[in-house]
Every structure is written in structure tokens, then in C-alpha cells.
Amino acid sequence: MLFQKMASHIVGYPRMGPKRELKFALESFWDKKSSAEDLQKVAAGLRSSIWKQMADAGIKYIPSNTFSYYDQVLDTTAMLGAVPPRYGWNGGEIGFDTYFSMARGNASVPAMEMTKWFDTNYHFIVPELGPDVRFSYASHKAVDEYKEAKALGVNTVPVLVGPVSYLLLSKPAKGVEKTFSLLSLLPKILPIYKEVISELKAAGASWIQFDEPTLVLDLDAHQLQAFTAAYADLESTLSGLNVLIETYFADLTSGAYKTLIELKGVTAYGLDLVRGTKTIDLIKTNFPKGKFLFAGVVDGRNIWANDLASSLGTLQVLEAIVGKDNLVVSTSCSLLHTAVDLVNETKLDDEIKSWLAFAAQKVVEVNALAKALAGQIDEAFFASNATAQASRKSSPRVTNEAVQKAAAALKGSDHRRATNVSARLDAQQKKLNLPILPTTTIGSFPQTLELRRVRREFKANKISEDNYVKAIKEEIKKVVDLQEELDIDVLVHGEPERNDMVEYFGEQLSGFAFTVNGWVQSYGSRCVKPPIIYGDVSRPKPMTVFWSSTAQSMTSRPMKGMLTGPVTILNWSFVRNDQPRFETCYQIALAIKDEVEDLEKAGINVIQIDEAALREGLPLRKSEHAFYLKWAVHSFRITNCGVKDTTQIHTHMCYSNFNDIIHSIIDMDADVITIENSRSDEKLLSVFREGVKYGAGIGPGVYDIHSPRIPSTEEIADRINKMLAVLETNILWVNPDCGLKTRKYAEVKPALNNMVAAAKLLRTQLASAK
């Protein structure tokens, strides 16, 4: 009974390893430099280490099947045998060839769509479903990993993506009516869930966790009823198991909460009490007697140390409602969204380091809170935590009065450019003299091993600044020459000086701190190292002007200045939680505004301010959309409101569903927007077919850069023709979906060559049709 009082739970854990071991193993396997057995060995070692770490920390409810070679939704697609026919799968256990073809495409067929996981920078592969899909139990991963942990002496809680969330996160396959009800497939997938559950029971599992995060969305009565129907159907199969339904990322509506607590066969409810603070009111009003509450009080989305005293107070309130034996201390969501271990950060400032907790430290926090709740408080640990909390609140390095004053002065203006976009485009065309269907790329070019070595050695003081600048200039010249050879119209410098588009800027802005190994998975093997915004933000000196000016001096063609926008810097950082996010965003916007104006003074006539993550930050609840979009769009406009009409402002967005915010995108008032399109089955174009008028320049991506596949000229021309059916010729740009840093030159050169050839083919056809 005492151990139940101290019960602790982790929703999920980072997979990549403290030094990105899985990333390197995956890339080695994809490059055919190592075998499947080598990859599986690395993965098994990481899983074993994670389970042991949690067990040693005293965690009672340790998850399994949260490890993935790509993402957990794709794992569920494999479990259900829902493989699109184009991958040629003929049944049986799904292997790496089919699995990675779905994720990345192959030489003959494109990958499945990839999109953002709710409002995070993590991505998942979107299932493609329809009435003719023949589901079958095709991946035994969940059971295999449970048995693997058990053999190591760790009895885990197997985690499955819940059946209703899986369907709600899916899309109708190509050729299936868009009105097709994905929830109508519930009776077809539940038999496979039953097989998995039965095998887990037979293997000895006593708990099972279903992640049903879609419960936090705005769901209608029909969608909520699907949860009721699904778990009623599963009830007899689940008999004998303790069943946890885990939700995260936001509050539950009263209707969703009522549906959740009335589900048949369910023992426990996991709730995010960090981003879902209003849910506590629902718990106070009605919590079912005898059920468990897995209280997510330790933040799985950020890296700030938990305020243990405050969390303990919340837990004590909850304990009085749900009962001493029925409260479990948990993380708010999977720790997948945070960095792995603060121990690996040997270069972080000691004061700032004392304010932080990465995944490994959060595991310790969860257990410390569980012990404290049971009356076994670690006085020294709590005292150290209180000291760090007080230090952060009072530290002078957090506050810059000049910055706060400048941000406060922004109120009262909407910061729009004085001239409308149509007039600006005319002025820009006179200056730039671009052909119709102008070609460009999104910014980055391949990051070769040699380039990474140069940056690494410069950071380690192993080469001089002169040698570093020389090497980067040589790389820029190579990229410029290649683009001129390919006859691309508006060039980029390739960003060879940048490892990451957000990290690069954060390193040069005040108020940011940086890690050495604070890697977080974005998708597949792609990891990012989010900066930490701990204080007020300002720009001490120009950040990109030297490199952009250097690149422009190498060509007579327009060279884009490349910046990351304030909303994306915000959404792709670990953001301070001691002031509203919009206040931090306005501070970043002012810093980027200074940079934009310096680029213009240096003769850069085209400036791209990427807002790849603007849609990602959209709150999950529609009632909160308007406020977010108002300050996010305003932040973007602040950055470029002072430039001349002849300076062309571009922005870029990718890998989200943009159709529902198209009017806010128009309100950004950029001159040109390039936007991901090809991997999402050209979903973006539907908004223009439905009558939305777009007067600025627009470049829906013509090919997917996250796949090694090289599209043909004919395929790209076909895509452009589809765009021309709904967009005016004089506003359409031709470009890839996203930056090219993750690709190899052997893929980039032929793909861009075909892209330019397609644009020229269409120009000829359009000219002859006049």
C-alpha cells in the first residue's frame, strides 16, 4: 500500500540516446554502411538503458513500446498492416524496407505525408486509409518490447496509440472521397487491437496505456461517441488488465472529460496538468470513485526545473479528492519533447544550469514528488530546488529594461507596410526583372561531412577564424556557382555557417543559452538542439549581413538574405515560462527587424524571413486561435514594416495544415510565400480551388525534399500545371518544399535540374499559348 502512495509514472522517454546514438545508427543503415542487425543492436541497447534508468530512479509505471525507429503513429500503421498499395507489401511481418519506404519514400514511390504532432516540433507519418484497406496484425513490436523488458527484470506498461486517436489523425487515401468517415473503420481495426491486448496479457502485462491525445481537441458528439464505442468493444478483452488512458498537451473540454471518465474497462486517467490547468476544476467537480489519476505535474515539453513546492501543493489538493492510494505522479506528456540529460552539459553556465531539468532530471523530480507525497520528503533536494527557483526570479541577467520598454511601445500600431502588395510587386519586378514562374530554393544546401568538420573545429578553437571564413566562403562560392549553372533565378548562399536555423540566431542574440548535447528528435533521424530563452532578447550586432553580402558579391542575380522569423525562433526554442509567450515573441521580432533593415542597407533586395513554425504554435483549441494568430502575425509584420517597396520580403512555411489559417497567412503581408505542398498531396491548392484569392507571390513546393527520391521533369511540370489551374501565372514561384540540408548533392543536383527544366518548359508553353 505504501508503494502505491509513492507511485510514479513516465508517459514516454526520448529515443535518440544522450549522444544521438540512434540517429547515427539509422543513417548508417540507410546509407547501407551497416546491417539491420547492427541497427537493432543499437536500439536494444538504448531501450535497455532507458528501462534500467527509470527502474533505478524508483519509477513504478515504466513505459515500453514508446521507442520507435521513426514515429509511434507509423508504428501503429505497421501494427495494423495499413500499408498503402504503392509500397508493394504482400503481407507478413512488416520489415525495415517497407517501414522506411513509407516514412522516406524510395527510388520509385514517394513517402507518405508527414505533419506536425499536435502543436509540437515533432512530426508523424499520416496514415492513408479508406474503405478497402485490409487491416492485419503485421507488427508485433509492442509485445516483443514488453517481453524484452521483462527479460531484463523490468515489468513495463506497454503503450499503444489509442484506436480513436489513430483514426482521427489519419486522412483518406488518394482516390477516396474526402468526406469518407475514418471513424467508420473502427470495427475493422479493433479486432487487431484485441489480438495485441491478448498477447500482452498472455506475456504477463498487468497495465496497458492507450495514448488518446485527440481527446484534448474540439471534438463533436459523434467523435466523442467513438471513444465510448471503442472502449465498450474492447472491455471484455481488457478484463484483467489495468487500463490507463493518457491525454496531453491541453485541457479537456467538459464533454471530453465526461466521456473519458465514463469509458468502460478503464482504470486510470492520465491528464496534463501543466498545459491543462483548467482540468483540475473538472477533477474537483467530479472524479470517479476508485479510479486512478495519473497527475501530469512535471512538464514534458520544457526544460525548466519543476517548482517542487508548488507541484506538491497541487498534488496534495488532488490527493484529497481522489484518495491517497489512487494518485500517481506523472509527467505532463512524453519526455520525447525535451533534451535527454543535463549531466552531459559541461559548458552551461552554473547559474542557468541550476534552473534546468532535462528528461533524466525530470524522472528524478517525478519520484521525489511521489516520495514527498507519501511523507518521505527529501529535504535537501527540495531546499536546493527552492534556492534555484528563487535565483531565477531575482537574477539580473533575466531582465533588460530597455528591451521591455521597446516591446511595450509596440502597442497601438499594427506595423503594416505603407503600400499594398500589388504595388510593391510591381516595384520589385522593375528592379529584379524576373521571368514568369521564377525559380528559387528555400535556403539551405547539403551539409557535407567536411562542412560539419570545419564548423566543429572552429567551435573547438582548432582552426583560426581566418581559415574558417575562407572555408565558408569557398562553400558559398560552390553553392552560388551550382545555382548559376542550373540557371536558378533567385539564389541563396546555402547557409554553410549554420548548423540549425534557430540555434544560429539564438547564439547571436542576448537572453539565449545553448547546450552541447541538448538534442531533441524532430522526425526520423532528424534532431534539433533548441536554444533556451532565459531572459529578455535583443540583438547586440548584425548576424547575417557579412555572409549575405559576401554571397551577393559573387553573382549578379538576386541573392536572398536568410533569416528565421520571430514566431519560429519562439516555437523552436525552450521558452521562458515566467512571462507570456507573446511578450518574448515581440522582443525577438524587434531584434529581427534590426537585422532586416541592416540587410537592406547592405544592398540585399530579397530577404526571406522563415516562419516555418507559425502554424505549429496554433493552440489546439479553436477558442484560443484568434489571440495567438493576432500576436504571431503582428510579430512577423514588425520585422519588415520599415523596408522599401522595392525590397522583396519572402517567408516560408512547412509541414503543417495551413488551409485553416490561410487568411492569417494573407494578413502577414509578405511579398512572396513559399510553402510545403507536394508531400501533403497538394492539399494546400484546395483552398484556392474553394475561392480564396491570393494576390502576393506564392511558391507551393513542387517536390518533397525529405525523401531521397528524385522527381522527373514531367512530374514537376504536372505539379506546376495543377497550381496554374488555381493561381495566376504572374504570382507563381517554383521551388522545393523545404531546405536541402538533409539531402546529398547527388540527389539535389538532378532534382533542381529537373525543377528548372519544368519551369522553362511551362514558360515556353505559356508563351506559345498567347
Q: Judge whether 587 and 407 are in contact, CB under 8 Å.
A: yes
- In 3D space, the residue among 326, 211, 337, 321 whose CA is nearest the CA of residue 274 turns out to be 337
> Regarding beta strands 520-523 and 526-528, do their DSSP bridges make them parallel or antiparallel, or are they unpaired?
antiparallel
CA–CA distance, 174 with 85 (Å, rounded to integer): 11
Ligand-binding site membership of 495 (annotated): yes
- Helix 21-30 and helix 96-104: axis angle, to 10°? 100
Q: Angle 326-331-333 (CA atoms, 0-180°, nearest 5)? A: 115
CB burial string 48-76: b at 16+ within 10 A, e below: eebbebbbebbbbbbbbbbbbbbbbbbbb
Ligand-binding site membership of 597 (annotated): no
- In 3D space, the residue among 265, 329, 269 whose CA is nearest the CA of residue 296 turns out to be 329
Which phi and psi (to 5°) does residue 424 adopt? -65, -45
How many CB atoms neighbour CB 689 within 10 A?
A: 10
CA–CA distance, 347 with 479 (Å, rounded to integer): 33
> Regarding beta strands 526-528 and 574-575, do their DSSP bridges make them parallel or antiparallel, or are they unpaired?
unpaired
Q: Judge whether 708 and 748 are in contact, CB under 8 Å.
A: no
Catalytic positions are 706
CB burial string 311-334: b at 16+ within 10 A, e below: bbebbeebbeebeeebbbbbbbbb
> Regarding beta strands 648-653 and 672-675, do their DSSP bridges make them parallel or antiparallel, or are they unpaired?
parallel
CA–CA distance, 259 with 537 (Å, rounded to integer): 43
Ligand-binding site membership of 690 (annotated): no
Cα Rg of the chain (Å, integer): 26
> Regarding beta strands 560-564 and 526-528, do their DSSP bridges make them parallel or antiparallel, or are they unpaired?
unpaired
Q: Look at residue 535 and give its three-state secondary structure.
A: strand
Residue 709: partners with Cβ closer than 8 Å, 6 or more residues away: 105, 106, 107, 108, 109, 110, 111
Ligand-binding site membership of 145 (annotated): no
Residue 564: partners with Cβ closer than 8 Å, 6 or more residues away: 501, 502, 504, 505, 592, 609, 610
Burial class (CB in 10 A: 0-12, 13-18, 19+), 167: buried
Q: Which helix (H) or strand (E) holds 538?
A: strand 532-538
CA–CA distance, 537 with 583 (Å, rounded to integer): 10
Q: Judge whether 444 and 499 are in contact, CB under 8 Å.
A: no
Side chain identity at residue 356, one-letter code: L
CA–CA distance, 211 with 327 (Å, rounded to integer): 19
Ligand-binding site membership of 634 (annotated): no
Ligand-binding site membership of 444 (annotated): yes
Ligand-binding site membership of 9 (annotated): no
How many CB atoms neighbour CB 692 within 10 A?
A: 14
Ligand-binding site membership of 721 (annotated): no
Q: Which residue in this structure is represented by grid cell 519560429?
A: 568
Ligand-binding site membership of 262 (annotated): no
Ligand-binding site membership of 585 (annotated): no
CA–CA distance, 139 with 68 (Å, rounded to integer): 12
Ligand-binding site membership of 652 (annotated): yes
Q: Judge whether 74 and 98 are in contact, CB under 8 Å.
A: no
CA–CA distance, 518 with 511 (Å, rounded to integer): 17
Q: Look at residue 766 and give its three-state secondary structure.
A: helix
How many CB atoms neighbour CB 408 within 10 A?
A: 10
Ligand-binding site membership of 738 (annotated): yes
CA–CA distance, 675 with 672 (Å, rounded to integer): 10
Ligand-binding site membership of 117 (annotated): no
Q: Judge whether 48 and 370 are in contact, CB under 8 Å.
A: no
Ligand-binding site membership of 442 (annotated): yes
CA–CA distance, 76 with 136 (Å, rounded to integer): 11
Q: Which residues are annotated as a binding site for 5-methyltetrahydropteroyltri-L-glutamate?
A: 23, 121, 526-527, 572
Q: Which residues are annotated as a binding site for L-methionine?
A: 442-444, 495, 610
Q: Which residues are annotated as a binding site?
A: 23, 121, 442-444, 495, 526-527, 572, 610, 652, 654, 663, 667, 676, 738
